Amino acid sequence: MTSLPSRSSLPDVSSPTPSGGSPLVRAVQALEGTAALDTVAGVLSRLSAPVTRPRAVRELLQGRGAGHALHPPLTDLPVGLWASAVVLDLVGGEGSREAARRLLGAGLLSAVPTAATGFAEWHATSNPERRVGAVHALLNTTALGMLGASWAARTRGRHGTGVATALAGMAVATGSAYLGGHLATARKVGTRDAAFERDGVGPVLSRPVPTATGGLPSQSDDPVTD
């Protein structure tokens, strides 16, 4: 098994060069250029140090034995369990309340290793991905708190409050999932075995070389088309 390459060797980009795109694209690029998030990232880095600092633990969580990142598939567990609980809330009737509560609880438990693998991936990023990852983590933490509150309310017999809180928590989790998708798909964040870098398929992780004017080169020669 070869070592997993790290994105941390990529140079920081303080702010992406605006290049059009949909309102969501522009919003995420603005987020990537928000220097104030560096302070948040620093706090999260210190808090996640038990997971991200020991190399053996970090490589295990990054998927050293699997060959690529473990975080994306693990996210299906809590999200799927919570979504199932919400479906039961909406169409399952009174007889499904206990099942929905248990699904929420199982999702909360599965969120722990999922978060650990996410922080291990985030450790290997630089800006602007690091900033988006910090917001992703904050939103996930907010959603986790709301869904935990939903579970607690149901346990106390306050089913209506539990349902409302779960719906709000899932809305926050959906926004966070969008940012996670941006990192994994648009920015190619995710560790992989070095063999995948050498097999002629890629992806090759690099930063565009700035032009003499300080901007980035034109993307007109990009072979990828719609």
Per-domain boundaries in the chain: 38-190
| Cα gap 28→22, rounded to integer Å | 10
Q: Of 110 and 222, which is predicted with more confidence?
A: 110
- Give the SS3 label for residue 154: helix
Q: Can you say whether residue 189 is alpha, beta or left, with left for phi > 0 and alpha for psi between -120 and 50 degrees? A: beta
Confidence grade of residue 213 (pLDDT, cut at 50, 70, 90):
very low
H helices of 123-181, in order, are: 129-155, 159-181
pLDDT attached to residue 5: 47
pTM: 0.84
